[in-house]
Structure 1
Amino acid sequence: MPLNLNAKWLVIPALLLASLGLTGCSELLFRQTCVGLTKDMRYCLAPLPHDFAPPTDKPLTHPRIQPATESTTKPAIMASQQTDSNTGVSSPQSFSQKVSIKVGKESHELLTQLELEGERMTLVGLAPLGQALFTLVYDGNTLSSEQSVLLGDNFKAEYLMAMMQLIYWPEQSIRAHLEGGHLVTGLCDAAGDSLVNTSSCRQIYSQDTLISKSALQTHVVQIRYQQNVGDALWQAHISLTMPQAKFELEIEPI
């Protein structure tokens, strides 16, 4: 049965609020590692890359799309991200973020801690006052979720983990694990002082949309990165939108 992304995301903010004040009482669940973005498109969690690169390898002046069959001259460190599932991050990394979620007219905030070590990706969610909401762990094969029992099955941990990968994982790795869609990357706006900051984008389109000659082509997912020149990807202010689901995700590093 196709996954209803809009319905599943709509319940998350309310459930996060309902969990405030909990002092324990959690359950461990094992989640699926592939999530539906549309009826005919899905993304499957990818192994941890050995290292991370900016959203684009170099400044772009036009959007570009790389077919899955196109050969590349990426460095070996990038190629290994999709060919060697036993390769994890070279050293432990940890990143703290303030996350804002908006679904329709409802908006809420939480704090997250993303930790990468070896082959393990851990995402911890906290309420604004510091109460633990959930802990997601992906080891390259399985995704487990330790969370408040009040969240129940309506909290779709796999979607939150997938969004983090779509945002931070290298382009080559995303393309290798995206089914039924195409990733297009480039600069968001031509205007602006490129010496001060950059605003690059990742856009995911369905296969049918790219084939269509209509000028009204709509992306399924758009991720915008705003950062100063020379900053690491983790220092970027990030905006992810999914128009069909009326969903917006803002990430601010802290």
Structure 2
Amino acid sequence: MIFDSHAHYDDEAFDEDRDEILSSLRAGGIGRVVNIGASLETTRKAIALAEQYPFLFAAAGVHPSDTGELTEDNFSYIEEALQMPKVVALGEIGLDYHWDEPGRPVQKKWFERQLFLAGEKKMPIVIHSREAAQDTYDIMRATGAAQMRGVIHCFSYGPEMAGKFLDWGYYLGIGGVITFSNGKKLKEVVKYMPLDQMLLETDCPYLSPVPNRGKRNSSLNLHYVVKAVAELKGISEETVERVTYENACRFYRLDTE
């Protein structure tokens, strides 16, 4: 079975057939999924979905692009959410410099706040970092995140930056980009990194792998990612599935079934 470590089934792209897709996952070889919060609203939706499906879990957090909504008052919801039984991580949090809004000072403030909260609650962290490698690394080092359990979701940097996070014991999230013809940098990272620090993810409904690139993604497409990883590392697809499943269970502190 495959563990999808990062999905967004609360997204409106699934409004018409969400239950149909989720109910089909196990027959399609998907054993578990973590649905990731990206705002206060989507965190609530992620938790509600996790409570509805036994194989689904949730992460609570605010994506850098949504940190403009945070205030001292409403931020308390994230702390409350971390106490809920099916919430297994704080995320996704981080920095995204691809967009100008919200401004970098706002993103940094709430990244730091959420890192400190994760440390206080001893929760694993799911990190989003886009075009912000050095600032992400520096803030994480300054806040003690090197000692936390974390994953760099949808890893998009080269082997040198990968090595810095791997040295901390972090996991790297690998998804559909590994099948793209322009994903050469990620292919280098996958060849270089140890399999026992890899998590498989879709980030669905985004980043569908080839041959479904450009279409709505789902966990069922992870078989293409497994195949690509196996070919790059010269190992069996069964090994990729088994080890990454065990990795995700260890990261999210879930029993292996």
TM-score interval (norm. to shorter): under 0.3
- Greater share of residues in helix: 2
Which structure would you say has the larger RCO, counting Cα contacts within 8 Å and 6 or more residues apart? 1
TM-score (norm 2): 0.27
Richer in strand (by share) = 1
Q: Which has the larger radius of gyration?
A: 1
